[in-house]
Amino acid sequence: MDRRAGKIFVGKKRPHADAKPLGTPAREAPQRIVIVGGGAAGYAAAEMLRRQKFEGSIVMLSSDDASPVDRPNLSKDYLAGRAPEAWVPLQPDSFYPDNGIDLRLKTNVTGIDVHAHKVTLADGTAVPYDKLLLATGAEPMRLTIPGADLPHVHTLRSLADTRAIIEGAKSARSAVVLGASFIGLEVAAALRARGIEVHVVAPDKRPMERVLGPQMGDFVRALHETNGVVFHLEDLANAIEAKQVQLKSGQSINADLIVAGIGVRPRIELAQGAGLTIDRGVVVNSYLETSAPDVYAAGDIARWPDPHSGASIRVEHWVVAERQGQTAALNMLGQREAFTAVPFFWSQHYDIPINYVGHAESWDEITIDGDIAAKDCLLRYKRNGRVLAIASIFRDVACLEAEVAMEAQTAH
């Protein structure tokens, strides 16, 4: 299975008998399904519905100006110039009309009436539904410092964002990446591949320490420094000028191009306006049902009961969004399948992939099998002796075995 292909299909999993729906299951098969969002979850749901021989209408409402794309590639090979844009779309544009999917781009949904079973668009059009999937994803957090609105300052979320960064990179000699997140460091690596001087500014003591721990954080920093990236850690940008970034420490950095990767926030305004239960995301049960009948949520906005960690979690990762979209599609068709997949993501830094399985917001022990510096390792993140997550470099078989083992376990 190639997880990086952007098209991941998982087999059925046994539902949890004790899972209780928040919403009320419909007694009749749906005829009109509406999907709000054009990302991984929305696309995967639409594709799964047709694969399941659903013959009703599918309306997919996306605020993007491009059909669904392989978003992880936007900050990896495509941005680095190693992959053509033709590789970015998940499907040719013809896929949607050929499969009876009414994909409406540049379309903003302004409201949901859960009682009348309809969504309202910005132009006043009402779109009725029997089942509704909210897959609105997340949006980049915006800088609020002086100069944040200058034309050479970018975020990265959409194909249009990446195109703009690539255009700016054509004439840039130096770039500043604000934030040492996965996206930020992938952007740094991609810009280095284009021969641009890159500085990374972040408040963290180590890059990605909160997710990967200090040992892997030190490795990631060393890897980027070996490839020419200059770090300015435990520091922040105070202001942006035409050719410079002013730091809180007083230092100035030359910058023809600036990319802010300071985090994302879930787009939950529609769900809030509709009166759905919210808890730092849209609350769903194990069937991805929200608190309103016939309304489901998947992807970056969904907070679901994770049977492996025993916690209610929300995860902003591509594979999770795809798998949830597929599960939501099955449940909209009445199959009552619990979402039990173990979260997974990968991050690419130069020629080094880091795979991560599970979910550990905190841990009290990290055990290391192998040698991180030799790029041959598997790290286990534990709490009270129980493995919550695993990170690995070039240990693909062991990583898959760990995923299978975690799939077989649930928290007690």
Per-residue pLDDT band for 9 (boundaries 50, 70, 90) equals: very low
Joined tokens for residue 348: 């690419």
Nearest to 255 by CA among 141, 338, 178, 157: 178
Residue 1 scores a pLDDT above 50:
no
Half-sphere exposure at residue 271, Cβ-oriented, CA atoms within 13 angstroms: 31
Task: Find, among 274, 312, 277, the residue nearest to 291 by Cα.
Answer: 277
Identity (one letter) of the amino acid at 339? F
- Once rounded to an integer, what is the mean pLDDT over residues 152-174? 96
Task: Give the CA distances from residue 321 to residues 33, 88, 401, in Å, rounded to whole numbers and listed in that order.
Answer: 18, 17, 22
Look at strands 244-247 and 252-254 and give their pairing: antiparallel
Q: Residue 410's pLDDT band (boundaries 50, 70, 90)?
A: low
From CA 183, how far away is CA 161, in angstroms rounded? 13
Q: Which of the two residues, 171 and 10, has the higher pLDDT score?
A: 171
CATH of domain 142-260: 3.50.50.60
169 vs 192: CA distance, rounded Å: 10
- Find the range with the poorest average confidence among 65-74, 95-104, 222-231: 65-74
- For residue 123, how far is the Cα from the chain centroid? 29
Place of tokens 């990265």: 156
Q: Is the CB of residue 114 less than 8 Å from the CB of residue 293?
A: yes
Q: Is the pLDDT of residue 6 over 60?
A: no
**What is the rounded average pLDDT of the residues 344-354?**
91
The residue behind tokens 């399948």 is: 337
Average pLDDT over residues 39-55: 97
Token code pair at residue 54: 């659903």
What are the tokens at 259? Answer: 């990319």
Average pLDDT over residues 33-61: 97
Q: What is the CATH number of domain 351-407?
A: 3.30.390.30
Residue 124 confidence class, pLDDT cut points 50, 70, 90? very high
Q: Mean of the pLDDT values across residues 244-259?
A: 97
pTM here is: 0.89
Angstrom CA distances, 67 to 3, 39, 94, 158, stand at: 20, 9, 10, 10
Q: Are strands 131-134 and 257-260 parallel, antiparallel or unpaired?
A: unpaired
**Residue 16: pLDDT over 60:** no
- DSSP three-state, residue 52: coil
Q: Which of 123, 103, 91 is nearest to 34 (CA)?
A: 103
Average pLDDT, the chain: 91
Q: Which contacts qualify for 389-392: CB closer than 8 Å, 24 or more apart? A: 389/356, 389/357, 389/358, 389/359, 389/360, 389/363, 390/356, 390/357, 390/358, 391/212, 391/216, 391/354, 391/355, 391/356, 391/357, 392/354, 392/355, 392/356
Length of the chain: 412
Segments making up each domain of the chain, as ranges:
29-139+264-332, 142-260, 351-407
Q: How many CB atoms lie within 10 A of CB 16?
A: 17
Equal CATH topology for 29-139+264-332 and 351-407: no
Class of the CATH-defined domain 29-139+264-332: alpha beta
Tokens 């435990």 appear where?
A: 234
Q: Reply yes or no on whether the pLDDT at 7 is more than 70.
A: no
In sequence order, the 6+-apart residues with CB closer than 8 A to the CB of 184 are 177, 178, 200, 202, 259, 261, 262
Q: Which two tokens stand for residue 230?
A: 């200059």
pLDDT of residue 408: 81
* Number of neighbouring beta carbons within 10 Å of residue 6: 23
Tell me the average pLDDT across 143-155: 96
Q: What is the mean pLDDT of residues 7-29?
A: 43
